Amino acid sequence: MITETSDLLSAQAELDRETERLRMRQSEIAVERTRRLEVEHVALIDRCREAQASVTAARAEADKLLREAIRAKGTLEDANRAVSSHSVNRPADSTYPTVGAVEKWSAELANRQTAAAKAEAASGESWGAYHCAQERWKMARETFQVLAESEIAMRSRLHPPRHSGHGAIEFTIFDGVPAVEITRGQEAA
């Protein structure tokens, strides 16, 4: 038990030193936590950049495959037109075609039908590849969105917004017409 004033002052000084040591330790911990958070933030920014590059690459791939699928569809349409036009041009029975002429026409029709079947298969493969690329693009965008939201949250933890006590004025554009929204109890002028 403390009986003298000097003992009391000594105990108070010791408490003050301990309190100061605790504050210093808390400060060191806070600085270390902030430093770690900054390192994580830099790593997250790098991951966001990589994800953004993946989105760009996936979109470029999807665009390229779309152009290829459209070309394949055009080739298919041309092949189908060639089959149709050749089918109509069959030697008429009224002209008494020779067996050789009918066989030549039949062979050409079979060649055109084979080409049309190959074009149909190629078109189907092209559209399938395009749809797969489109899904990869969608997944890349979703991954990027998640990372970007994480980065925004981490940035707000690193640099919390400072409030001046006044309401914020937010500008929002609806159909090209600016609208002003006043928040936190500010009155319109």
Half-sphere exposure for 153 (CA within 13 Å, toward CB): 6
Give the pLDDT score at 53. 94
What whole-number distance in Å separates Cα of residue 104 and Cα of residue 102? Answer: 5
162-185 pLDDT per residue, tens: 655 555 545 454 444 444 444 444
| CA-to-CA dists, residue 45 to 40, 126, 144, angstroms | 9, 35, 11
Domain boundaries, given as residue ranges, for the chain: 5-182
Q: What pLDDT is stored for residue 64 in this prediction?
A: 97
The string of pLDDT tens digits covering residues 36-59 is 999 999 999 999 999 999 999 999
Which residues in the chain belong to E strands, given as ranges?
Answer: 169-174, 177-182
- pTM of the full structure: 0.65
- Report the pLDDT value the prediction gives residue 70, as an integer from 0 to 100: 97
Q: Please tell me whether residue 179 adopts helix, strand or coil conformation.
A: strand
Note the pLDDT tens digit of each residue in 68-108: 999 999 999 999 999 999 999 888 888 889 999 999 999 99
What's the CATH number for 5-182?
Answer: 1.10.287
How many other CB atoms are there within 10 angstroms of residue 51's CB atom?
Answer: 19
Say whether pLDDT at 61 is over 90.
yes
